[in-house]
A = this chain, B = another copy of it.
């Protein structure tokens, strides 16, 4: 994939032209225009070239080049630098895959830099271009549009985790406890922590964006960031909800393991008691005393067998009734 995915100028919300890098300055100086630049895993040289054009800070450029930043919003003079984490459900391996998108927002430009696994923002751009009356609010609205699409990607991810919790509940309460269930719980916990780590800073970031007193984001764009704030809060709450239930599930699982172990012990004890009877009777009539009149009776053997079996059945029924077996 090429490094520079998109580089276009917008005039009053309408795309006017794809811009050559050498002509960026003209757009930046025009009061009604802004530049929207999309990069994908850019090389250090590319970044340095744009650094000069947009007058970006060294530290921000360094962060923008290395992925694996934590989500954050930093202000360098007139420029905002924002890092967000994107998430996607990897259908094949049943795992959540994270990527990163970095933003530079300046007085007449928006730069987005994608790292790792994440969808292209082409359709977000198309959607924006189809509503020029909104996009004319400026680069702040373009920022909102992408952030909104990033946050909304978390809903299917969290819903998939909620489904996994339901699978686990199903297994815990309807099947017998297994090592797999315990490992499953652990893996779900790990994924929840990862999602939480990616989402919870967004609450703070969108909160700051919706209150910032800056010319970068026009006043009528700020309610839109409240929308993102609200979605980030909701995802966060969903994750906390699953986590708290998962903790209870872990403990419930544990109780059920103990109960099933207790059941095994009780059943074992019950059957051992039933089987102890014939063994003991047989032992007695295996004694070699000279004078054991029963041994001489003609029907001694069948009588003893029948009595023993009856006794066993009786004990079995008693145990059954008392709920022991």
Contacts and interface: CB of A to CB of B under 8 A. Distances in A.
A178 to B, nearest CB: 7
Interface string A251-264: 11111111111101
A268 B271 contact: no
Interface in A143-186: 169, 173, 176-179, 182-183, 185-186
Interface residues of A, number: 83
Interface string A185-198: 11001100100010
A179 B257 CA distance: 10
A279 interface: yes
A226 B74 contact: yes
Q: Which 7 A-B residue pairings sit nearest by Cβ, starting from the closest?
A: A282-B283, A268-B269, A285-B287, A261-B262, A289-B301, A286-B286, A182-B255
A250 interface: yes
A286 B194 CA distance: 67
B255 A255 contact: no
Interface of A: 57, 59, 69-70, 72, 74, 76, 169, 173, 176-179, 182-183, 185-186, 189-190, 193, 197, 223-224, 226-227, 230, 233-234, 237, 241, 244-245, 248-262, 264-269, 271-273, 275-276, 278-280, 282-292, 294-301, 304-305, 323
B177 A259 contact: yes
A253 B254 contact: no
Contacts of A305: 284
30 contacts: A70-B234, A173-B183, A179-B256, A182-B256, A186-B248, A186-B249, A189-B248, A190-B245, A193-B241, A193-B244, A193-B245, A248-B250, A254-B258, A258-B258, A262-B264, A264-B266, A265-B265, A269-B271, A272-B276, A275-B276, A284-B305, A285-B288, A286-B286, A286-B288, A288-B292, A289-B297, A289-B300, A291-B298, A291-B300, A292-B301
